[in-house]
Amino acid sequence: MSILIKNVNIVNSTGVESSVDIYIENSIIKDIKKNLDIEVQKIIDARGLYVLPGLVDAHCHLRDPGYEYKEDISTGSRSAAKGGFTSIACMPNTDPVADNPAVVTYIIEKAKKEALVNVYPIGAITKGQKGEELAEMGSMKEAGIVAVSDDGRPVMKSSVMKKALIYAGQFNLPVISHCEDLDLAEEGSMNEGFMSTKLGLRGIPAAAESVMVARDVLLSEYTGIPVHIAHVSTKSSVEIIRNAKKNGVKVTCETCPHYFTLTEEACEGYDTNAKMNPPLRTQEDVEAIIEGLKDGTIDIIATDHAPHHFDEKNVEFDNAPNGIVGFETALSLSYTALVETKVITLPQLVEKLSTGPARILNLKKGVIDVNEDADLILVDFDTEYTIDVSEFASRGKNSPFDGFKVKGKNMMTIVGGKIVYVADD
């Protein structure tokens, strides 16, 4: 298949190139020039649109195997494609847990058959995510994992975390840490603060996160092995990471769109679509996250796409599972909250959503250039539209953003030179 995209503005993390043509042959970008005149099978006139390297998500949940009623590799990949993600790294909290090469192989093989986008499994740090014994990281790397993480079940024992860093370091596997001191979090189901007091719900203090961020930063400094902090949500976490970076610690981190667009007030009325872990925090935290994105303390934006069934969320707040879907809102929320408001530039947005995550996961992705993989998206940044969860391709409709007016709509997704998604209008 050969494609010629005409009259497009290319946004890389390094800058914008206006009104050029992109020539794709098979799965590779063959040429980028003004006024290319080549015989191709398909010509796309993309005047007025921007082409970005396909987005890369370092943190999502595809629920497959084990929870296919929430999402599976096929539906998850369709949701990703619709949202503009061409490469996604999925967390190991499946059933069975991806803590061995067999489950990893299952995911990779199923993705080859059914997925519209590139799927990269993340293996567990410990067997069964139990935080006790190291999982077979080496064998899982051979099977295809790109990182290790115990996801929502933080490695509480510092000695295990220290060994995990050292061992993963030997295999050059990034370690992604969900930072939460479970002892401090107790049985909390939202942020501890005024809203938890008003709603009478048990709170998770901000310190439950930052205490463990500090521990992991110190362990990274001690071992000399990089650590990647998942979904940073608090002001104090941002400050700890900022200082660590200043001191040369090899720490990177991500946040998610909901941590810079929503506060704990979204839990009003016991809205379980505002329940996630870490929980939505306060306005002060939101501002600190935005500042962290601006000054580079926060390296990347991940979705933490966490689909759940309607029935699971339509229960008492305490009983509802954590998490919201994110693939189909991340780009527009990030653009609207960060670029429209001039917090960051368009190339910086590409850094946060594509080039940066690719670098952290050691993927050769996230760049539009000759001889690079043809993973591209075409985006309309000008037209405002309304988020409608009923239109999501994901099996999960659990989003607090239904009805939000945003800009930054993905119009087309190309993965490996194949058009896998085209917007209806």
Partner 1 sequence: MKLAVKDVLGLEYMTPQDIELILNTAKDMKKIVTGRMKRVNYLQGRTVITLFYENSTRTRVSFELAAKYMGAHAVNVSVGVSSVAKGETLIDTGRTLEAMGADIIVIRHSQAGAPNLLAKNIKASVVNAGDGMHEHPTQALLDMYTMREYFGTLKGLKVAIIGDIYHSRVARSNIFGLTKMGASVKLYAPSTLVPPGIEKLGAKLCSSIEEAVDGCDVVMSLRIQMERQKKALFPSANEYTRFFGLNPERIVNLNDNIILMHPGPVNRGIEMTSNLIDGKNSMINQQVTNGVAVRMALLYLLTGGQSQ
In terms of CB distance, is 221 or 318 closer to partner 1? 318
In terms of CB distance, is 146 or 195 closer to partner 1? 195
Is residue 292 a contact residue for partner 1 (CB under 8 A)? no
Quick one: DSSP state of residue 338?
I
In terms of CB distance, is 239 or 318 closer to partner 1? 318
In terms of CB distance, is 125 or 286 closer to partner 1? 286
Contact assessment for residue 419 and residue 376, using Cβ atoms and an 8 Å cutoff: no
Minimum distance, C-beta of residue 233 to partner 1, in the bound complex (Å): 17
Measured distance CA(410)–CA(343) in Å, rounded:
21
Minimum distance, C-beta of residue 423 to partner 1, in the bound complex (Å): 34
C-alpha dihedral (335, 190, 389, 417), degrees to nearest 10: 50
Neighbours of 259 (CB within 10 A): 28
295-354 positions binding partner 1, by CB under 8 A = 311, 314-319
Element (H, E) at 384: strand 376-386
- Residue of the chain from 35, 37, 200, 425 that contacts partner 1 (CB under 8 A): 200
Is residue 193 a contact residue for partner 1 (CB under 8 A)? yes
Contact assessment for residue 90 and residue 147, using Cβ atoms and an 8 Å cutoff: no
Minimum distance, C-beta of residue 17 to partner 1, in the bound complex (Å): 50
In terms of CB distance, is 311 or 424 closer to partner 1? 311
Per DSSP, the three-state class of 419 is strand
- Pick the piece of the chain touching partner 1 (CB under 8 A) from 29-37, 133-141, 197-205, 240-248: 197-205
304 is catalytic: yes
Q: Concatenate the DSSP letters of all residues of 192-213 into one string.
A: SSHHHHHHTPPEE-HHHHHHHH
Of 99, 216, 304, 373, the catalytic one is 304
- Max CA separation in the chain (angstroms): 66
The helices-and-strands tally (H runs, E runs) of the chain is 14, 18
Is residue 199 a contact residue for partner 1 (CB under 8 A)? yes
Is residue 400 a contact residue for partner 1 (CB under 8 A)? no
Encode 287-318 in three state secondary structure: HHHHHHHHHCCCCEECCCECCCCHHHHCCCHH
Site string for partner 1, 252-271 (x = CB under 8 A): -----------------xx-
Catalytic residue set: 304
Binding site for partner 1 (CB under 8 A): 192-203, 269-270, 311, 314-319
